[in-house]
Chain A
Amino acid sequence: MTATTPAATTPAATVAAATATATNPAAGRPTLLSGWRASGRSDLAAHVAHYGPLPPLHGDFPRRLVAAVEAAGLVGKGGAGFPSAIKLQSLPRTRSRPTLVVNAMEGEPASAKDHVLLSLLPHLVLDGAQLAAVAVGARQVVVCVADDRDELAAGVATAVAERQRTSQLPVPTTVARPPGRYVGGEESALVGWLERGRGVPAFRPERGVPLALDRAPALVHNAETMAHVALLAREAAGASSTADPEALAADRTTLVTVSGAVARPGVLEVPLGTPIADIVAMATPQGPPVAVLVGGFGGSWLGAGALGTPLRKDTLGAVGAAPGAGVLVVLGSQACGLAETARIARYMAGESAGQCGPCVFGLPAIADDLDLLVAGRGGAAIELRLTGRLALVAGRGACRHPDGVVRMVASALDAFEDDLRRHAAGRPCGHSRRRTVVPLPPA
């Protein structure tokens, strides 16, 4: 099989292959995966030996932690890229204490970074969750691991028990197992499942209103984001006074999952702002990349000309893309970008929560248009119909699932414009029938 599914490879193997080539930007300073490189161990003793103990949680530390997170410019690593410091300060003051939800669902099939991080270094994520929980005054932490990832959940439970035994768990922590669907990790779906056992996105016209769990606010943070908080907390604790923004923002790293037409797919830790082409080079591409799908299945295709773009929210934003969940799917010259787009659109249509008409009917219609286009049987009007449907569906779901599909398909029409002309003229390329290079789950 030519397709490589990052989630299916063992975390140890994927990280071992990847980190060999990834450069460590801040020699000496611990980074997200340096603890694993140092010892190859996941237990609490190895964690403390490498990263040091949990910083003291009393006094003005919560305030200094939020200031450090803000100074570092940390944004959420689950996909939306929302500034983490704002989220930590967003809760209204209520009498009922909030729940901190750690989102390790990673329903994105092309992403494996949360799985790798949480299985290799569970204590780094748990550290961050404890720190964030203390900072917001949470009464409990709930780590959400998809119900089809028993081994990962067991590892987290073991780590939680280890901390309980050694009194390094100031905020009570449990592991929850929501269903592992694409939209299952959307934050309102996640909290909805914890509250009522029904994991579908909620319609939230007032974006500022916090999610609620057991009549108290719930705050959802991605697992990798928590690991960043754990690292920043140690730097804030070590700093004598207020954190120096430049020092905190410098040399930060981020996790990416590279798949597609590469010889060494897997998870890499790279300096924030590394050009996409350089990251792809670390994964040993099979020939020059023609395009890269950036962010996730709801992300954006970037053509060869845009691959010098640094992987960062602002720089990608300038070319209409976003880091998303750190996903990079590489397309080589032996594949058809439009055919891959059609396959992803079909998969995403099947992953609709089934609640909203524009998503339920619109996404299959978009996938149908793409299939006709790819096969060269769309006729002269197909492109107009497809772009019309993209505009019709955008912004009309309760969650952003349909918007992601619209963005991904629209970016494909742009990145693969030459292919589009040929396919629309009834001359499909020979590659469109090849097996997919995208890590799609088996149908």
Chain B
Amino acid sequence: MSAVLTIDPTACDAYGYCAELLPELVGLDEWGYPVVGGEPVPAELVARAEQAARHCPRRAIRVRTRVEVRSSASRP
């Protein structure tokens, strides 16, 4: 189980608060939209990641807890 950052690109309006609050994990592209890697959020940054998510005016950035997801190929 690990935490990862996801950005809903349909919700994001490039306010950029996430990059201000969490520069270790969020960069901005040349148009001001956030770029995140897919790597797990280090334990010491989880609290700040959640803070960044709370401060997003568009609620576009989230900290998701990734569990072992069954692939869609598996039968119900």
Contacts and interface: CB of A to CB of B under 8 A. Distances in A.
A79 B64 CA distance: 30
B51 interface: no
Contacts of A398: 8-10
B64 A86 contact: no
A356 B30 contact: no
A361 B8 CA distance: 16
Nearest to B70: A208
Contacts of A202: 10
Interface string A350-375: 00000111110110010000000000
B1 interface: no
Interface string B57-76: 00000001000011111011
Interface in B12-43: 12-14, 29-33, 35
B56 to A, nearest CB: 14
A357 B30 contact: no
B69 A203 contact: no
A4 B32 CA distance: 40
A356 B29 CA distance: 13
A357 B9 contact: yes
Given A208-B70, A355-B9, A357-B14, A392 B29 contact: yes
Contacts of A59: none
Contacts of B29: 357-358, 362, 392
Given A392-B29, A396-B35, A91 B9 contact: no
B45 interface: no
A207 B72 contact: yes
Contacts of A362: 29, 31
Nearest to A94: B76
B66 to A, nearest CB: 10
Interface residues of A, number: 26
Contacts of A207: 72
Contact of A392 (B32, B35, B75): B35
A93 interface: yes
Contacts of B10: 200-203, 355-356, 398
Nearest to B71: A208
A206 interface: yes
A356 B33 CA distance: 9
B11 interface: yes
B33 A358 contact: yes
| Interface of A, helix, strand, loop or mixed by DSSP | loop
Interface residues of B, number: 22
A89 B9 contact: no
A89 B10 CA distance: 30
Given A205-B6, A357-B9, A398-B10, A392 B30 contact: yes
Nearest to B7: A396
A92 B76 contact: yes
A397 interface: yes
Given A356-B10, A398-B8, A86 B73 contact: yes
Most buried by A among B29, B69, B71: B29
A92 B70 CA distance: 12
A266 B9 CA distance: 38
Contacts of A357: 9, 12-14, 29, 31-33
B71 to A, nearest CB: 7
A174 interface: no
A90 interface: yes
A207 B70 CA distance: 10
B40 to A, nearest CB: 15
A39 to B, nearest CB: 40
Interface string A329-359: 0000000000000000000000000011111
A86 B72 contact: yes
Contact of B76 (A93, A201, A355, A358): A93
Interface string A21-62: 000000000000000000000000000000000000000000
Contacts of A365: 30
B35 A89 contact: no
Contacts of A92: 76
Given A203-B10, A208-B69, A355-B9, 9 more contacts: A86-B73, A203-B9, A208-B71, A356-B9, A357-B9, A359-B9, A362-B31, A392-B30, A398-B10
10 contacts: A86-B72, A202-B10, A205-B6, A208-B72, A355-B9, A356-B10, A356-B12, A357-B9, A358-B9, A362-B31
The 8 nearest A-B residue pairs measured at CB:
A356-B9, A208-B72, A357-B33, A361-B31, A355-B10, A203-B8, A92-B76, A398-B10
